[in-house]
Amino acid sequence: MVADFEVEFIERDDRNARFLVRGASPAFANGIRRAMIADVPTFSIDTVRFVENSSVMFDEMIGLRLGLVPLTTPLDDFEVGETVTLALDVEGPGTAYSGDIETSDDLVEPADDNIPIIELKEQQRIELEADAVLDTGREHAKHQGGVAVGYRHLQRVEVVGDAGEFDEGEPNILRGVIETEDGELVATDEFDHDLAERYPGKELAVHDVPGAFVFHVETDGSFSVEELVTRAAESIGARAAELETKVAV
Amino acid sequence: MSYKCSRCKRDVELDEYGGVRCPYCGHRVLLKERAPTIKEVDVE
């Protein structure tokens, strides 16, 4: 079976997107989801060399915090396993933020400047050098590029008649994206996730649309949503191609 | 081993038989200083 996918964006931001894919099987939708979480590599701090740390926290705890700072990752320029050196030198009083991290390569820098690392008091100082390495979420969760990746079935809502005269008008809560009878796609937050608000006084039938999945994808800022989805698809393609060559031998 | 006296803030070298006491002011509370080497930490 060769399916033709139809893709339609419902929301589209740099870091956050919602899009509908028609013609996918549940297995393929889940494969893409897993590839987005585990197979697309991102840079993350892996080794830290502390020159000075007179703060109130142990070196190891600061190291763990640094590991979770998202770093921009241009995947065309680096291979998995490559490293980039970063440095941090902050003296108290004040807070050391991710924006204070200096980088040796402008392509790899903290995706957000306002992540607090540690608060320093008078005469406290932190000076360190760190190596960021490119690796996948399969190796460690700090390398996950997709941080909130999931999908739901597209749900079709049909009006089947009027509600009974003595019906209570209770809320009919539904989350995700609905398809109306005239084919319009509406995110449920537009009507406060309550179908009774959009269709007052109507009796409704809701059912899943087969083969239609609404993906909600959020990245940590390492790269855009488009990059994440295309790299995930490429990784599935690459594994399928590898299987094909191994079986043929 | 190098320590720092918590009262007079002077560096103190402890010897094996002298007991725990600052030789300058006699204070018995000594603080261990962080080693001046670079410490490497693996982030796991």
The answer, yes or no, to whether ipTM is higher than 0.85 is no
Give a yes or no: residue B31 inside a domain.
yes
Backbone Cα Rg of chain A: 24
Residue A140: list chain B partners with CB under 8 A.
44
Give a yes or no: residue B32 inside a domain.
yes
What is the domain count for chain B?
A: 1
> Average pLDDT for residues A224-230, to the nearest whole number?
93
Which of B9, B31, B39, B41 best probes binding to A when mutated, by most A CB atoms within 10 angstroms? B41
Question: Model pTM?
Answer: 0.83
Q: How confident is the model at residue A1 (pLDDT cuts 50, 70, 90)?
A: low
Residue B2 domain boundaries: 1-38
Please write the tens of the pLDDT for every residue from A26-80. 999 999 999 999 999 999 999 999 999 999 999 999 999 999 999 999 999 999 9
With a CB cutoff of 8 Å and minimum separation 6, the contacts of A87 are A101, A102, A103, A104, A128, A129, A130
- Output the pLDDT for position A2: 61
- Output the pLDDT for position A107: 93
Annotated binding site of B: 8, 22, 25
Query: Into which CATH architecture does domain A42-137 fall?
Result: Beta Complex (2.170)
Give a yes or no: residue B43 inside a domain.
no
The 8-class DSSP code of residue A110 comes to: B
**A45 touching chain B per CB within 8 A:** yes
Which of A43, A44, A52 best probes binding to B when mutated, by most B CB atoms within 10 angstroms? A52
What are the structural domain ranges in chain A?
Answer: 6-39+146-219, 42-137
Residue A47: list chain B partners with CB under 8 A.
40-43
Q: What is the spatial distance between Cα A218 and Cα A11, in angstroms, rounded to a whole number? A: 11
Q: Is the Cβ–Cβ distance between A20 and A7 less than 8 Å?
A: yes
Pick the CATH number of A6-39+146-219 from 3.60.70.12, 3.50.30.30, 3.30.450.20, 3.30.1360.10: 3.30.1360.10
- Output the pLDDT for position A114: 94
Q: What is the CATH number for B30?
A: 2.20.28.30
Q: What is the spatial distance between Cα B44 and Cα B40, in angstroms, rounded to a whole number? A: 13
CA-closest candidate to residue A5, choices A213, A235, A241 = A213
Q: What is the spatial distance between Cα A105 and Cα A47, in angstroms, rounded to a whole number? A: 17
